[in-house]
Chains A and B, each alone.
Chain A
Amino acid sequence: MKIKQSLLEYIDNVKNGSFTCEEFVLETLEQIEKHEEILHSYISINNKAIEDAKNIDKKIKSGEAGSFYGAPISIKDNICIKNSKTTCASRILEDFVAPYDATVITRLKNQDALFIGKNNLDEFAMGLTTEFSSFGPSRNPWNSEYVPGGSSGGSAVAVSALECLASLGSDTGGSVRNPASFCSVVGYKPSYGLISRYGLISYANSIEQIGPLTRTVKDTAFLLNTIAGLDENDNTTIDNHNDDYLAEIDHGIEGKKIGIIKQMMGEGTSKEVVDATNEAISKLEKQGAQIQDINLETVDYSVAAYYTITATEAGSNLARYDNLRYGYDFPLEGYEFNSYISKARKKFGPEVTRRMILGGFVPSAGYAGRYFLKAMKVKNKLTREVNEAFKKVDLLISPTVPVQPFKIGEKIEDPIALFLVDFNTVTANLTGKPAISVPFKVTNGLPIGIQLMAEHNEDKFLLQAAYSLEKDTKLPEVPL
């Protein structure tokens, strides 16, 4: 089976002629067809994938291929690819065809990556199980009765189930790391500003980032080499000085100080997850890292602050969907202006509707001080605490998610239980720090990921640490 390999292995194999891009893409499409009915990781498939693969094979033969050599990459369906549908898993955008490429897409196209399809997600990335997709939930390839995490659930499933070599998701409060943990793949949330958000459909601009999901840490580093860095179309991007994230990835962790976030190992974290995290800590300690506890008191308020801030930004961002400039077929005749928009917006799903209502409420007159401004203050305090922590340690460690994957439908009726699944991941978003989920263990047939977090713009160091944790970890194969 050719498809059972990493992105970097694929590139080596195609380069040395072990197989062609077309052969690999054909096998990938067969795998998608075989599993899609159950897993539902894709919203749309690139119908021209084989034609694209043939064209890239020609470039490979003539020595002109870019560094991806036609590697099939999937893209979360909230990132624009020109002339492709970009639905955000929402009925309100079900016919929207993007008129331009996101910067990450342009950069990948320039290096001959092949876009195999667009992945399922929670509608507008609002959710953490993929159950809020308007096109139906994705399922976890480790056990299809269980959620794959979200909101980039389709991306994580596709990478885990060998339906692509790597994927791009977006992470607003853990939306890359959470499904990566649940599906046993690597999920990366870069430093805020490292990857351009141009062409990512906005949810909560001040904290969201595009991030890769891959089978190995090295693959993530390789992807970052292409997609990271300044972009004049996104003035929040930072100069990474063309850092080579793959170089010195095996630098090791010896002598580095690692802090265990106390609040993320206590009440609410399952025994299996705590045990796996302690094993990961021991592994890093054996490689020469020095371990200590770190107290981040404000973490206890981070989820409330996160949802307050993101709902506010979502309420503003989603105001543009009035069905006049883009949307679905809904005749204008017979409606007054405002009633038309209200009727058209009924296509939003229930979770998006709830968050928009929240987003209108928490910053409104009379309530802004109680909710939004307080949430912004919590964000500040948390950032200060984390900055102080990074004066004592080089890295922070925690479980990525406090629990293992749960059954589809198990938490969908309980918004607070769902909120708390984000408990360990939102800190990196609120503070702008880079964080990664590394697959570490499979217990009772379900995966557990470990989260490492580093100081802002220390992405290269974070990947070196993640590689140290990943190295020599033996995990079972996904039971497909």
Chain B
Amino acid sequence: MVTAEEIEKVAKLMRIEMDDHAEYIERVKKMLGYFDLLDKANVESEEIDFTIMPIENLRKDEFIPYDEKLIEKLKNYKGTYVRAPKMV
């Protein structure tokens, strides 16, 4: 059974601040409870296929000129740097 503490820990790692812990936790627990259905799917012996994309299909690593200054589209920047809060 998933605990409220575990969910809170994950939320913190995901940088999610919750006002109403109880509401979120209850609903997330309900959703996880539904996912327990996967236990009945009888897939223990199943392999997982991953799609491997061939690298020859990748576009060429070429410089594409951009007619505007992308940095100016940011909310916070100084010169050519993104501004961020201080790391204490």
A contact residues vs B (CB 8 Å cutoff) = 97, 99, 206, 232-233, 235-236, 298, 300-301, 304-305, 307-308, 315, 319, 322-329, 332-333, 335-343, 345-346, 348, 350, 353-354, 356-362, 364, 370-371, 373-378, 380-381, 415-416, 419
Assembly CA distance A189 to B76 (angstroms)? 39
Known: A305-B41, A415-B34. 19 other contacts (CB 8 A): A99-B70, A298-B41, A301-B37, A333-B85, A341-B15, A345-B15, A348-B16, A353-B16, A353-B24, A354-B24, A360-B10, A360-B13, A361-B6, A362-B32, A370-B38, A376-B48, A377-B47, A415-B30, A416-B31
CB of B22 within 8 Å of the partner chain? no
Selected from B18, B48, B76, the residue in CB contact (under 8 A) with A380 is: B48
Interface contact A332-B84, CB-CB below 8 Å: yes
CB of B5 within 8 Å of the partner chain? no
Counting chain A CB atoms within 10 Å of each CB, the highest count among B2, B35, B75 belongs to B35
Q: Inside 8 A of A358's CB, which chain B residues have their CB?
A: 28, 31-32
Give the shortest distance, in Å, between B43 (CB) and chain A (any CB): 4
Q: Inside 8 A of B83's CB, which chain A residues have their CB?
A: 324, 332
B interface, size bucket:
35 or more
Contact with A along B21-58 (1 / 0, CB 8 A): 00010011011101101111101001111010100011
Chain A residue at minimal CB-CB distance from B49: A380
Interface contact B86-A336, CB-CB below 8 Å: yes
Contact with A along B49-79 (1 / 0, CB 8 A): 1010100011100000010101001111000
Interface contact A378-B38, CB-CB below 8 Å: yes
B contact residues vs A (CB 8 Å cutoff) = 2, 6-7, 10-11, 13-19, 24, 27-28, 30-32, 34-35, 37-41, 43, 46-49, 51, 53, 57-59, 66, 68, 70, 73-76, 82-88
Give the shortest distance, in Å, between B33 (CB) and chain A (any CB): 8
Interface contact A336-B88, CB-CB below 8 Å: yes
Give the shortest distance, in Å, between A136 (CB) and chain B (any CB): 21
Counting chain A CB atoms within 10 Å of each CB, the highest count among B24, B28, B66, B70 belongs to B28
Interface contact A235-B24, CB-CB below 8 Å: no
Interface contact B34-A304, CB-CB below 8 Å: yes
Give the shortest distance, in Å, between B82 (CB) and chain A (any CB): 6
User: What are 26 A-B interface contacts by the 8 Å CB criterion?
Assistant: A233-B59, A235-B57, A298-B41, A301-B38, A301-B40, A305-B41, A307-B31, A324-B84, A325-B74, A326-B73, A326-B74, A327-B75, A328-B75, A329-B75, A337-B85, A342-B17, A343-B17, A345-B17, A354-B24, A357-B10, A360-B10, A360-B13, A361-B10, A362-B32, A375-B35, A380-B43
